[in-house]
Every structure is written in structure tokens, then in C-alpha cells.
Amino acid sequence: SNENNNVRGALIVLEGLDRSGKTSQCSRMHSYLVEQGIPVELWRFPDRNTCVGQMISSYLANKSQLDDQTVHLLFSANRWEKRSLMESKLKSGTTLIVDRYSYSGVAFSSAKGLDIEWCKAPEKGLLAPDLVLYLDISPEEAAERGGYGGERYERLEFQRKVSQQYRILRDETWKIIDACLPLEDVEKRLRELALDCITDCRNGKSLSPLL
Ligand code: 2DT
């Protein structure tokens, strides 16, 4: 059950450029943890199911125009509106595998030229991930994989800028995984890192806010 006293779940975030394999690795990791009997849910940002998420979705599909600051704050609000549910899930023992989080927010908006500190400010006070798994791929290799959809940010030039901004955001809590390794190798490495993190959280690692 998810009601284990005191045992909390882990907040595990996957980040990376479009076509880095993030989304399929998230779902593989989710299935794996389910098989292991670990209480776990798969989340993603933007969460397009909320009203705010629908505004974001229409912007990404080029069906509406918003200025850069406005959409940045909507992405952030979309995380804030899920914050309390996220906290209660974690505290009741459920691990969350999250496809994109604040780092996407800061990397994509600062890649448009917005000040990076301004971009970080609304993220302060959201829950800090216990682990950030960055699927590392060059923008050129990602583009070669093909299959960019038609959404607003899916262009090589822009992905190059996003990649540079992600580099600036890296810190010692990030694990960088070479996304060009065979899929099974990437999967294995991600599993090991996630299981270690889940163990640390069960053993009392505390939940903290993003600074
Ligand atoms: P998906 O293709 O993964 O649905 O992402 N983005 C995402 C931002 O610009 N800011 C954010 O805060 C987040 C979470 C990245 C849709 C696009 O939205 C971008 C790609």
C-alpha cells in the first residue's frame, strides 16, 4: 500500500532536449518500478489537462500567441497548481517519475533571451527533485533522429540554444546519461540511479524546496 508510515516516495525528474528519448524512458522506468512493486506514478509537465495546461498547449501548437514572459509564468503556474498534490503523493509513499520540470521552464525561456534569474524566480518554493536525470544528446544528433513534431520549439536552431542553457543549469545533483548509448543501456543506468534514489528517500532523505 501507499500508506507506509514515514516512508516517502522520491521525486525523480527526467530532462533533455526533444528527441532525447526522455518520454519513452519515463514510461519504461514507470513500468519497471510497477513490476518491482514500488508505488509510483508517471507525471509530465506541461500537464495539458488543466485550464492553464490547455492555454500552454494551444500556444505550443501555434494556435495562440502569448508573449515570452506570460507563457513562462503559465508554465510555472502549471507546476504550482500541482505542487500540493505532488507533496501529498510523495509523503504518502508514492514515487513520481516526472517528464520535464522547472529546468525545462528555465532552459526554454532563457533560450529565448529572457534573463535566467528572472526565469528561476517563480520556481522557488516548488519541491526540489531528489534526482535529475539528464538524457544528454547533441542538438544535431537529436535532429537526425527525426520526428520533430510541428510544435513551436522543435527547430534545430532553438534546440541549440536550449542545450546551452541546460548546461548552465547543471549542478551536482544532476546525473548526466549519454542518450546515444543503446536504449537498453540507457534504461539500465536510469533504473540503477532511480532505485538508489528511492532507497535514500525511504531511509529518511528529506523533502526540500527549490532555491
Ligand atoms: P513536451 O513536448 O515534453 O510536452 O513539452 N517547456 C516545457 C517549456 O518551455 N517550459 C516548461 O516549463 C516546460 C515544462 C519544452 C512541450 C514543450 O514545452 C517546453 C517542450
Rounded distance between C-alpha atoms, residue 114 and residue 143, angstroms = 24
β-sheet with 11-16: strand ranges across: 40-44, 95-99, 11-16, 131-136, 174-178
| pLDDT band for position 5 (cuts 50, 70, 90) | low
Distances (CA, A) of 77 to 48, 83, 102, 183: 12, 10, 11, 33
User: Range with the lowest mean pLDDT among 6-20, 112-126, 146-160?
Assistant: 146-160
Closest residue CA from atom 12 of ligand 1: 105
Burial of 77 (0-12, 13-18, 19+ CB in 10 A): middle
Helix, strand or coil, per DSSP, at residue 97: strand
pLDDT at 114 exceeding the cut of 60: yes
Q: Which one is predicted more confidently, 62 or 3?
A: 62
- Break the chain into its structural domains and give their ranges: 11-202
Over residues 178-193, the pLDDT tens digits come to: 999 999 999 999 999 9
- 11-202: what fold? Rossmann fold (3.40.50)
Determine the distance separating the centroid of ligand 1 and the alpha carbon of 160, expressed in angstroms. Answer: 15
Q: Whose CA is nearest to atom 2 of ligand 1?
A: 18
Higher-confidence residue of 129 and 151: namely 129
How large is the average pLDDT for residues 182-208? 97
Q: Is the CB of 25 under 6 A from ligand 1?
A: no
Mean pLDDT of the chain: 96
pLDDT confidence band for 117 (50 / 70 / 90): very high
Q: What is the pLDDT of residue 1?
A: 45
pTM for the full model? 0.96
Q: Which residues are paired to 177 by β-bridges?
A: 135
Cα 192 to averaged position of ligand 1 atoms, centre (Å): 26
- Please determine, for residue 172, whether its predicted confidence score (pLDDT) is greater than 90: no
pLDDT confidence tier of residue 4, bands split at 50, 70 and 90: low
Question: Do the interacting molecules here have an ipTM over 0.90?
Answer: yes
